[in-house]
Amino acid sequence: MSNESGNSSGVSSARARGRVVGVPKRCWCGELVIPLMSKSTANPNRRYFRCAFAVEKKLSNDNHAYKWVDEALLDEVEALSFRIGRLEQTILSERMEEERKKFEVFELKLETDICARMEDVVSEAKCEVKKALVLVF
Ligand SMILES: [Zn+2]
Query: What is the average pLDDT score of the chain?
Result: 85
Ligand 1 centre to CA of 10 (Å) is 20
pLDDT at 37: 95
Say if residues 52 and 26 touch (Cβ distance below 8 Å): no
List pLDDT tens digits, range 64-78. 999 999 999 999 999
List pLDDT tens digits, range 96-132. 999 999 999 999 999 999 999 999 888 888 888 888 8
Ligand 1 centre to CA of 51 (Å) is 5
Let me know the angle formed at the C-alpha of 30 by 26 and 32, rounded to the nearest 5 degrees.
40
Beta bridge partner(s), residue 26: 32
Ligand 1 centre to CA of 71 (Å) is 19
Domain residues of the chain, as ranges?
13-136
pLDDT at 20: 67
Question: Whole-angstrom Cα distance, residue 17 to residue 122?
Answer: 81
Cβ-proximal residues to 93 (8 Å cutoff; 6+ apart), any chain = none
What mean pLDDT comes out for the span 54-69? 94
Ligand 1 centre to CA of 45 (Å) is 22
Residue 8: helix, strand or coil by DSSP? coil
Ligand 1 centre to CA of 41 (Å) is 24
pLDDT at 23: 85
Ligand 1 centre to CA of 73 (Å) is 20
Ligand 1 centre to CA of 109 (Å) is 66
Ligand 1 centre to CA of 11 (Å) is 16
Q: Minimum mean pLDDT among 11-15, 38-42, 100-104: which range?
A: 11-15
pLDDT bracket for residue 13 (50, 70, 90)? very low
Ligand 1 centre to CA of 68 (Å) is 15
